[in-house]
Amino acid sequence: MIFNLMNLSTTMTDIWTKLQEIMNFVIFDVKGSTFTLLTLLYLIVASTVLIFLVRRISKLLDSRLLVRISERGTRAAIVTIIRYLILFLGFLLIFKSAGFELGTFSWLLGALGVGIGFGLQNITNNFLSGIIILFERPIKVGDRIQVGDISGDVVEISMRATTVVTNDNISVIVPNSQFINGNVINWSHSDRLVRFRYPVGVAYKEKPERVKEIVLNVARNHPGVLSKPAPDFWFVEYGDSALKFELIVWTSTYIQRPTVLKSELYYAIFNEFNANGIEVPFPQRDLHIRTNSSRHPFS
């Protein structure tokens, strides 16, 4: 029995020795700073813990500590800046505790600079554009924007790209450089109010004042139309077949669904026009036939 225990102890000691040899195997050596399998394991575990803690801290800041900041975009920008600052300092501390001197990686930084100059231009451009967006804030989380053919709400701004959710609930990842180098329409830059214009046409026989009264009553009674600024009704022009008007409404609740508001207003206007005998015209052409009383000389 004692002999078996001694053999087991010797076996465990040999396994531990072999494991130490494997874990202390030097992968590479940079000016006295050795990188072993144990170092690699430490970096993986420490980095995982750091990322987990940063996510928890970010949620805590957004939901608890910065809740007094009512503007969602400002709160998101502050949380993002703090998150990347903690990550930067955390990784510095991890590499320092692993026994690496940052000065020994000057060659790596030089190689990285060359790589950025040739192959990582777009990534670097988007990264710097993300920093500019967070500080200058041409757009912010919660804004209704249009960039190129993409229109939707900003839901997240990261250091490389911005996530925009369209009216079809499709998330579009837009590189940050497009917001700096291109033209961006921000419908809610100063406040979340949007003005829509809807054309309305009636027959020439209708009185414009009566049409204005009916359409404005429809707009005022719609729950999605703001009373301040008040809706308006403009006489645009004399069309070929109709008097052309334009309904002007402001909304803060139908920003994501402009076509829904348009449809609801048009339904209500059509019903009111029918109830009040207002004619909605369609394109017409008058054909005049001229006849010659004299007969053709060769007939």
Q: Name the E strands within 37-170.
A: 144-147, 150-157, 161-166
Hey, is 72 helix, strand or coil? Answer: helix
Over residues 189-206, the mean pLDDT reads 84
* Secondary structure (DSSP) of 185-253: EETTSSSS-EEEEEEEEE-TTS-HHHHHHHHHHHHHH-TTS-SSSPPEEEEEEE-SSSEEEEEEEEESS
Q: What is the pLDDT of residues 43-63, one digit of tens each?
A: 888 899 999 998 888 888 877
Residue 116: per-residue pLDDT: 58
Instruction: State percent of the chain over pLDDT 90.
Output: 24
Residue 93: per-residue pLDDT: 86
Distance (Å, whole) CA 187 – CA 229: 16
Beta-carbon count within 10 A of 212 CB: 17
Residue 274: per-residue pLDDT: 93
Query: Residue 16 has which token pair?
Result: 């531990």
Residue 136: per-residue pLDDT: 78
Residue 127: per-residue pLDDT: 78
Over residues 141-156, the mean pLDDT reads 84
Best CA proximity match to 39, nearest among 92, 88, 96, 90: 96
Over residues 74-97, the mean pLDDT reads 81
pTM over 0.75: no
Distance (Å, whole) CA 141 – CA 281: 44
Residue 199: per-residue pLDDT: 94
- Asked whether the predicted pLDDT for residue 98 surpasses 90, the reply is no
| φ, ψ (nearest 5 deg) of residue 246 | -140, 125
Helix (H) or strand (E) holding 131: helix 121-136
Quick check: 162 and 174 in contact, CB under 8 A? yes
The secondary structure of residue 65, as a DSSP letter, is I
